Amino acid sequence: MAGSDQVNLIESKTVVPLNTWVLISNFKLAYNLLRRPDGTFNRHLAEFLDRKVPANANPVNGVFSFDVIMDRQTNLLSRVYRPAYAGGDPPSFTDLQKPVDGEVVPVIVFFHGGSFVHSSANSAIYDTLCRRLVGLCGFVVVSVNYRRAPENRYPCAYDDGWTALNWVNSRPWLQSKKDSKVHIFLAGDSSGGNIAHNVAVRAVESGIGVLGNILLNPMFGGTERTESETRLDGKYFVTVRDRDWYWRAFLPEGEDREHPACSPFGPKSKSLEGLSFPKSLVVVAGLDLIQDWQLKYAEGLKRAGQEVKLLYLDQATIGFYLLPNNNHFHTVMEEIAAFVNAECQ
Protein backbone atom coordinates (compact mmCIF):
# COMPACT_ATOMS: atom_id res chain seq x y z
CA MET A 1 0.00 0.00 0.00
CA ALA A 2 3.02 2.23 0.46
CA GLY A 3 3.16 3.16 -3.18
CA SER A 4 -0.39 4.41 -3.46
CA ASP A 5 -0.01 6.20 -0.13
CA GLN A 6 2.84 8.16 -1.63
CA VAL A 7 0.58 9.25 -4.45
CA ASN A 8 -2.13 10.18 -1.99
CA LEU A 9 0.19 12.30 0.07
CA ILE A 10 1.41 14.21 -2.91
CA GLU A 11 -2.12 14.85 -4.17
CA SER A 12 -3.36 16.34 -0.96
CA LYS A 13 -0.32 18.54 -0.74
CA THR A 14 -1.11 20.23 -4.04
CA VAL A 15 -4.51 21.52 -3.02
CA VAL A 16 -3.86 23.22 0.30
CA PRO A 17 -1.21 25.59 1.60
CA LEU A 18 1.64 23.85 3.35
CA ASN A 19 0.73 24.97 6.84
CA THR A 20 -2.84 23.78 6.34
CA TRP A 21 -1.48 20.46 5.12
CA VAL A 22 0.67 20.20 8.22
CA LEU A 23 -2.23 21.08 10.50
CA ILE A 24 -4.69 18.60 9.06
CA SER A 25 -2.11 15.85 8.61
CA ASN A 26 -1.12 16.31 12.21
CA PHE A 27 -4.70 15.81 13.28
CA LYS A 28 -4.99 12.78 11.06
CA LEU A 29 -1.84 11.28 12.55
CA ALA A 30 -2.92 11.94 16.11
CA TYR A 31 -6.40 10.60 15.51
CA ASN A 32 -4.99 7.42 14.01
CA LEU A 33 -3.11 6.86 17.24
CA LEU A 34 -6.22 7.33 19.32
CA ARG A 35 -8.73 5.05 17.64
CA ARG A 36 -8.50 1.42 18.64
CA PRO A 37 -9.68 -1.40 16.39
CA ASP A 38 -11.97 -2.70 19.12
CA GLY A 39 -13.92 0.54 19.03
CA THR A 40 -12.49 2.00 22.23
CA PHE A 41 -10.75 5.34 22.31
CA ASN A 42 -7.60 6.57 24.02
CA ARG A 43 -9.30 9.50 25.71
CA HIS A 44 -6.43 10.41 28.03
CA LEU A 45 -3.99 10.74 25.17
CA ALA A 46 -6.60 12.63 23.17
CA GLU A 47 -7.02 15.19 25.93
CA PHE A 48 -3.27 15.44 26.36
CA LEU A 49 -2.75 16.15 22.68
CA ASP A 50 -5.66 18.52 22.17
CA ARG A 51 -4.53 22.14 22.21
CA LYS A 52 -6.87 24.13 24.39
CA VAL A 53 -7.27 27.79 25.20
CA PRO A 54 -8.95 29.40 28.18
CA ALA A 55 -11.86 31.77 27.84
CA ASN A 56 -10.85 35.39 28.00
CA ALA A 57 -13.01 38.16 29.36
CA ASN A 58 -10.44 40.66 28.10
CA PRO A 59 -11.33 41.54 24.50
CA VAL A 60 -8.92 40.28 21.88
CA ASN A 61 -9.48 41.57 18.36
CA GLY A 62 -12.81 42.91 19.51
CA VAL A 63 -14.12 39.66 20.98
CA PHE A 64 -14.29 38.42 24.56
CA SER A 65 -15.47 35.10 25.96
CA PHE A 66 -16.52 33.38 29.15
CA ASP A 67 -17.70 29.90 30.05
CA VAL A 68 -21.01 28.95 31.57
CA ILE A 69 -22.27 25.76 33.13
CA MET A 70 -25.69 25.45 31.57
CA ASP A 71 -26.75 22.39 33.49
CA ARG A 72 -25.30 21.38 36.83
CA GLN A 73 -26.54 17.82 36.55
CA THR A 74 -24.71 17.00 33.37
CA ASN A 75 -22.02 19.65 33.86
CA LEU A 76 -22.83 20.90 30.37
CA LEU A 77 -20.49 23.76 29.65
CA SER A 78 -20.58 26.25 26.81
CA ARG A 79 -18.33 29.10 25.82
CA VAL A 80 -20.03 32.39 25.09
CA TYR A 81 -18.36 34.82 22.68
CA ARG A 82 -19.46 38.43 22.48
CA PRO A 83 -18.33 41.52 20.65
CA ALA A 84 -16.41 43.89 22.88
CA TYR A 85 -18.43 46.75 24.27
CA ALA A 86 -18.03 50.24 22.85
CA GLY A 87 -14.88 51.79 24.23
CA GLY A 88 -13.07 48.46 24.23
CA ASP A 89 -12.79 48.26 28.01
CA PRO A 90 -12.69 44.77 29.41
CA PRO A 91 -16.16 43.96 30.76
CA SER A 92 -16.47 43.56 34.48
CA PHE A 93 -17.92 40.35 35.81
CA THR A 94 -21.33 41.93 36.14
CA ASP A 95 -21.19 43.10 32.54
CA LEU A 96 -20.56 39.71 31.03
CA GLN A 97 -24.26 39.04 30.74
CA LYS A 98 -25.23 42.59 29.94
CA PRO A 99 -28.22 42.64 27.57
CA VAL A 100 -27.27 42.61 23.91
CA ASP A 101 -27.54 45.99 22.38
CA GLY A 102 -29.34 45.94 19.07
CA GLU A 103 -32.66 45.79 17.34
CA VAL A 104 -31.73 42.40 16.04
CA VAL A 105 -28.76 40.51 17.43
CA PRO A 106 -28.27 37.02 15.96
CA VAL A 107 -27.14 34.36 18.40
CA ILE A 108 -25.38 31.41 16.84
CA VAL A 109 -25.46 28.18 18.78
CA PHE A 110 -22.35 26.43 17.51
CA PHE A 111 -21.47 22.74 17.67
CA HIS A 112 -17.81 21.96 17.07
CA GLY A 113 -16.73 19.10 14.86
CA GLY A 114 -14.58 16.10 15.60
CA SER A 115 -16.72 13.27 14.27
CA PHE A 116 -18.61 13.11 17.59
CA VAL A 117 -15.42 11.96 19.30
CA HIS A 118 -12.71 14.61 19.14
CA SER A 119 -12.29 18.22 20.26
CA SER A 120 -14.03 20.43 22.78
CA ALA A 121 -15.53 23.89 22.94
CA ASN A 122 -12.20 25.08 24.33
CA SER A 123 -10.09 23.47 21.61
CA ALA A 124 -7.92 26.14 20.05
CA ILE A 125 -9.16 25.48 16.52
CA TYR A 126 -12.77 25.99 17.54
CA ASP A 127 -12.15 28.89 19.87
CA THR A 128 -10.48 30.61 16.94
CA LEU A 129 -13.29 29.76 14.54
CA CYS A 130 -15.97 31.03 16.90
CA ARG A 131 -14.09 34.27 17.42
CA ARG A 132 -14.02 34.75 13.66
CA LEU A 133 -17.77 34.20 13.51
CA VAL A 134 -18.35 36.93 16.07
CA GLY A 135 -16.00 39.17 14.18
CA LEU A 136 -18.06 38.70 11.02
CA CYS A 137 -21.00 40.85 12.04
CA GLY A 138 -21.20 41.20 15.76
CA PHE A 139 -23.11 37.98 16.35
CA VAL A 140 -23.07 36.33 19.75
CA VAL A 141 -21.75 32.79 19.51
CA VAL A 142 -22.44 30.06 22.05
CA SER A 143 -20.20 27.04 21.55
CA VAL A 144 -21.56 23.91 23.17
CA ASN A 145 -19.24 21.43 24.87
CA TYR A 146 -21.43 18.41 24.16
CA ARG A 147 -20.73 14.92 25.42
CA ARG A 148 -18.74 12.81 23.01
CA ALA A 149 -18.62 9.24 21.78
CA PRO A 150 -17.66 6.50 22.35
CA GLU A 151 -18.16 7.17 26.05
CA ASN A 152 -21.47 8.88 25.33
CA ARG A 153 -23.32 7.60 22.32
CA TYR A 154 -26.41 8.84 20.53
CA PRO A 155 -28.47 10.67 21.66
CA CYS A 156 -26.27 12.40 24.26
CA ALA A 157 -24.84 14.97 21.89
CA TYR A 158 -28.32 15.83 20.63
CA ASP A 159 -29.67 16.05 24.17
CA ASP A 160 -26.90 18.44 25.10
CA GLY A 161 -27.63 20.48 21.98
CA TRP A 162 -31.25 20.64 23.00
CA THR A 163 -30.36 21.75 26.52
CA ALA A 164 -28.14 24.45 25.09
CA LEU A 165 -30.84 25.64 22.73
CA ASN A 166 -33.29 25.98 25.56
CA TRP A 167 -30.77 27.77 27.70
CA VAL A 168 -29.98 30.27 24.98
CA ASN A 169 -33.64 30.75 24.18
CA SER A 170 -34.43 31.59 27.79
CA ARG A 171 -31.70 34.16 28.47
CA PRO A 172 -33.24 37.62 28.83
CA TRP A 173 -29.89 39.23 28.07
CA LEU A 174 -29.77 37.58 24.63
CA GLN A 175 -33.10 38.99 23.51
CA SER A 176 -33.13 41.35 20.57
CA LYS A 177 -34.76 44.70 21.28
CA LYS A 178 -37.08 44.48 18.29
CA ASP A 179 -39.30 41.72 19.68
CA SER A 180 -37.78 40.67 23.01
CA LYS A 181 -36.96 37.31 21.51
CA VAL A 182 -33.66 35.53 21.05
CA HIS A 183 -32.80 35.29 17.36
CA ILE A 184 -31.22 31.87 17.11
CA PHE A 185 -29.18 30.20 14.41
CA LEU A 186 -27.76 26.71 14.71
CA ALA A 187 -24.35 26.03 13.22
CA GLY A 188 -21.73 23.35 13.19
CA ASP A 189 -19.00 21.65 11.23
CA SER A 190 -18.65 17.92 10.64
CA SER A 191 -20.47 16.16 13.51
CA GLY A 192 -21.50 19.59 14.70
CA GLY A 193 -23.44 20.07 11.48
CA ASN A 194 -25.20 16.80 12.11
CA ILE A 195 -26.07 17.90 15.63
CA ALA A 196 -27.36 21.24 14.36
CA HIS A 197 -29.73 19.44 12.02
CA ASN A 198 -31.05 17.16 14.72
CA VAL A 199 -31.49 19.92 17.26
CA ALA A 200 -33.38 21.89 14.61
CA VAL A 201 -35.74 18.97 14.09
CA ARG A 202 -36.45 18.85 17.79
CA ALA A 203 -36.87 22.62 17.91
CA VAL A 204 -39.45 22.55 15.15
CA GLU A 205 -41.35 19.78 16.91
CA SER A 206 -41.37 21.78 20.14
CA GLY A 207 -42.10 25.20 18.75
CA ILE A 208 -38.80 26.89 19.50
CA GLY A 209 -37.96 29.26 16.69
CA VAL A 210 -34.70 28.70 14.86
CA LEU A 211 -34.01 31.20 12.10
CA GLY A 212 -31.47 29.20 10.16
CA ASN A 213 -29.04 26.27 10.07
CA ILE A 214 -25.45 26.59 8.95
CA LEU A 215 -23.84 23.26 8.16
CA LEU A 216 -20.14 23.17 7.30
CA ASN A 217 -19.05 19.86 5.84
CA PRO A 218 -21.78 18.16 7.88
CA MET A 219 -21.25 14.56 8.88
CA PHE A 220 -23.81 12.25 7.35
CA GLY A 221 -23.59 8.73 5.98
CA GLY A 222 -25.37 5.54 5.09
CA THR A 223 -24.72 1.87 4.47
CA GLU A 224 -24.25 2.27 0.75
CA ARG A 225 -20.75 3.10 -0.52
CA THR A 226 -21.20 6.19 -2.62
CA GLU A 227 -19.17 7.14 -5.62
CA SER A 228 -17.38 9.97 -3.84
CA GLU A 229 -16.39 7.68 -0.98
CA THR A 230 -14.85 5.22 -3.38
CA ARG A 231 -13.17 7.85 -5.52
CA LEU A 232 -11.74 9.94 -2.73
CA ASP A 233 -11.01 7.26 -0.12
CA GLY A 234 -7.69 8.05 1.59
CA LYS A 235 -6.80 10.82 -0.83
CA TYR A 236 -7.51 13.93 1.19
CA PHE A 237 -6.82 13.12 4.83
CA VAL A 238 -9.93 11.01 5.36
CA THR A 239 -10.64 7.33 4.83
CA VAL A 240 -13.89 5.42 4.60
CA ARG A 241 -12.56 3.17 7.30
CA ASP A 242 -12.20 5.96 9.82
CA ARG A 243 -15.68 7.25 8.94
CA ASP A 244 -17.04 3.78 9.66
CA TRP A 245 -15.21 3.73 12.99
CA TYR A 246 -16.77 7.00 14.12
CA TRP A 247 -20.29 5.92 13.20
CA ARG A 248 -19.77 2.71 15.11
CA ALA A 249 -18.62 4.80 18.08
CA PHE A 250 -21.57 7.20 17.98
CA LEU A 251 -24.57 5.12 16.93
CA PRO A 252 -26.27 2.85 19.44
CA GLU A 253 -24.63 -0.55 19.60
CA GLY A 254 -25.94 -2.87 17.00
CA GLU A 255 -27.29 -0.11 14.78
CA ASP A 256 -26.07 0.34 11.27
CA ARG A 257 -25.67 3.44 9.20
CA GLU A 258 -29.31 3.46 8.10
CA HIS A 259 -30.03 4.88 11.52
CA PRO A 260 -31.67 8.30 11.10
CA ALA A 261 -28.91 10.01 13.07
CA CYS A 262 -26.51 8.98 10.33
CA SER A 263 -28.87 9.09 7.41
CA PRO A 264 -31.55 11.76 7.93
CA PHE A 265 -33.19 11.16 4.57
CA GLY A 266 -32.72 7.42 4.56
CA PRO A 267 -35.39 4.76 4.80
CA LYS A 268 -35.70 4.98 8.58
CA SER A 269 -36.12 8.73 8.92
CA LYS A 270 -39.15 10.85 9.53
CA SER A 271 -40.21 13.19 6.79
CA LEU A 272 -39.69 16.90 7.16
CA GLU A 273 -42.42 17.71 4.73
CA GLY A 274 -44.82 20.31 5.93
CA LEU A 275 -42.70 21.31 8.90
CA SER A 276 -41.48 24.86 9.26
CA PHE A 277 -37.90 23.77 9.32
CA PRO A 278 -35.36 26.60 9.35
CA LYS A 279 -33.68 27.58 6.10
CA SER A 280 -30.29 25.91 5.66
CA LEU A 281 -26.90 26.88 4.33
CA VAL A 282 -25.06 23.69 3.47
CA VAL A 283 -21.36 23.97 2.63
CA VAL A 284 -19.81 21.01 0.84
CA ALA A 285 -16.09 20.64 0.19
CA GLY A 286 -15.39 19.18 -3.24
CA LEU A 287 -12.59 16.97 -1.91
CA ASP A 288 -14.53 15.63 1.06
CA LEU A 289 -15.22 11.96 0.52
CA ILE A 290 -18.65 12.08 2.16
CA GLN A 291 -19.87 14.79 -0.19
CA ASP A 292 -22.40 12.48 -1.83
CA TRP A 293 -24.12 12.15 1.53
CA GLN A 294 -24.03 15.88 2.06
CA LEU A 295 -25.48 16.46 -1.39
CA LYS A 296 -28.19 13.89 -0.67
CA TYR A 297 -28.95 15.81 2.49
CA ALA A 298 -29.40 19.07 0.61
CA GLU A 299 -31.53 17.25 -1.94
CA GLY A 300 -33.62 15.73 0.81
CA LEU A 301 -34.32 19.14 2.30
CA LYS A 302 -35.39 20.46 -1.11
CA ARG A 303 -37.67 17.54 -1.77
CA ALA A 304 -39.30 18.12 1.60
CA GLY A 305 -40.06 21.64 0.51
CA GLN A 306 -37.48 23.26 2.73
CA GLU A 307 -35.35 26.23 1.85
CA VAL A 308 -31.72 25.35 1.30
CA LYS A 309 -28.73 27.05 -0.19
CA LEU A 310 -25.99 24.70 -1.28
CA LEU A 311 -22.47 26.05 -1.46
CA TYR A 312 -20.21 23.60 -3.27
CA LEU A 313 -16.51 24.44 -3.05
CA ASP A 314 -14.66 22.61 -5.77
CA GLN A 315 -11.15 22.14 -4.54
CA ALA A 316 -11.79 22.48 -0.83
CA THR A 317 -10.71 19.78 1.59
CA ILE A 318 -11.98 19.10 5.08
CA GLY A 319 -10.94 21.72 7.60
CA PHE A 320 -10.49 24.52 5.05
CA TYR A 321 -12.34 26.87 7.39
CA LEU A 322 -9.81 26.42 10.18
CA LEU A 323 -7.26 28.73 8.60
CA PRO A 324 -7.95 32.01 6.80
CA ASN A 325 -5.30 31.35 4.17
CA ASN A 326 -7.50 30.28 1.28
CA ASN A 327 -10.32 31.66 -0.85
CA HIS A 328 -12.82 29.08 0.31
CA PHE A 329 -12.50 30.38 3.83
CA HIS A 330 -13.34 33.91 2.81
CA THR A 331 -16.15 32.81 0.53
CA VAL A 332 -17.77 30.85 3.30
CA MET A 333 -17.42 33.62 5.85
CA GLU A 334 -19.15 36.02 3.47
CA GLU A 335 -21.92 33.55 2.77
CA ILE A 336 -22.51 32.96 6.46
CA ALA A 337 -22.66 36.68 7.14
CA ALA A 338 -25.14 37.18 4.32
CA PHE A 339 -27.22 34.19 5.40
CA VAL A 340 -27.54 35.42 8.97
CA ASN A 341 -27.97 39.07 8.17
CA ALA A 342 -30.79 38.30 5.75
CA GLU A 343 -32.89 37.49 8.80
CA CYS A 344 -32.00 40.69 10.49
CA GLN A 345 -33.98 43.08 8.31
Partner 1 sequence: MKRDLHQFQGPPDTRFPNHGTANTGSSSKDKMMMVKEEEDGGNMDELLAVLGYKVRSSEMAEVALKLEQLETMMGNVQEDGLSNLATDTVHYNPSELYSWLDNMLTEFNPPPPEINNSFLAGAGGSDYDLKAIPGNAIYARSDQFAIDSSSSSNQAGDNSQSTKRLKSCSSPDSLVTGTTVTTTTTESTRSVGLAAESTRSMVLVDSQENGVRLVHALMACAEAIQNNDLSIAEALVKQIGFLAVSQAGAMRKVATYFAEALARRIYRLSPPQTQIDHSLSDTLQMHFYETCPYLKFAHFTANQAILEAFEGKKRVHVIDFSMNQGLQWPALMQALALREGGPPVFRLTGIGPPAADNSDHLHEVGCKLAQLAEAIHVEFEYRGFVANSLADLDASMLELRPSEIEAVAVNSVFELHKLLGRTGGIEKVLGVVKQIKPVIFTVVEQESSHNGPDFLDRFTESLHYYSTLFDSLEGVPSSQDKVMSEVYLGKQICNLVACEGPDRVERHETLSQWANRFGTSGFAPAHLGSNAFKQASMLLALFNGGEGYRVEENNGCLMLGWHTRPLITTSAWKLSAAH
Please, which residue, 320 or 339, has the CB nearer to partner 1?
Answer: 320
Question: Residue 254 is which amino acid?
Answer: G
Could you tell me the smallest distance in angstroms from the CB atom of residue 48 to partner 1?
4
Is 45 among the residues that bind partner 1 (CB under 8 A)?
yes
Nearest to 277 by CA among 288, 269, 286: 269
Q: How many residues sit close enough to partner 1 to count as binding (CB under 8 A)?
A: 63
| 206 belongs to the catalytic site | no
Is 14 among the residues that bind partner 1 (CB under 8 A)?
no
Is 322 among the residues that bind partner 1 (CB under 8 A)?
yes
Per DSSP, 92 falls in state P
**Per-residue buried b or exposed e for 52-74, using 16+ beta carbons within 10 Å of the residue's own CB:** eeeeebebeeebbbbbbebbeee
Cβ–Cβ < 8 Å for 80, 318: no
Is 240 among the residues that bind partner 1 (CB under 8 A)?
no
Residue 270 CB coordination number (10 Å):
10
Strand-strand pairing, 140-145 and 76-83: antiparallel
Is 268 among the residues that bind partner 1 (CB under 8 A)?
no
- Interface with partner 1 (CB under 8 A), residue from 7, 58, 209, 227: 58
Q: Determine the interface stretch with partner 1 among 51-59, 174-182, 189-197, 253-261 (rule: CB under 8 A).
A: 51-59
Cβ–Cβ < 8 Å for 227, 291: no
How far, in Å, CA of 66 to CA of 47, rounded?
21
Please, which residue, 47 or 307, has the CB nearer to partner 1?
Answer: 47
Who contacts 16 (Cβ-Cβ below 8 Å, separation ≥6)?
24, 317, 320, 326
How far, in Å, CA of 68 to CA of 345, rounded?
30
Could you tell me the smallest distance in angstroms from the CB atom of residue 9 to partner 1?
5
Please, which residue, 57 or 295, has the CB nearer to partner 1?
Answer: 57
CA atoms within 13 A of residue 279's CA, in its CB half-sphere: 13
From 190, 191, 263, 280, the catalytic residue: 190
How far, in Å, CA of 172 to CA of 279, rounded?
25
Is 34 among the residues that bind partner 1 (CB under 8 A)?
yes
Please, which residue, 247 or 329, has the CB nearer to partner 1?
Answer: 329
Please, which residue, 92 or 345, has the CB nearer to partner 1?
Answer: 92
Subset of 126-165 contacting partner 1 (CB under 8 A): 128
Residues acting as catalytic residues:
190
Contacting positions for partner 1 (CB under 8 A) = 1-2, 5-6, 9, 13, 18-19, 21-23, 25-26, 28-30, 32-37, 42, 44-45, 47-49, 51-61, 66-69, 72, 75, 77, 79, 89-90, 92-94, 96-97, 121-122, 124-125, 128, 322-325
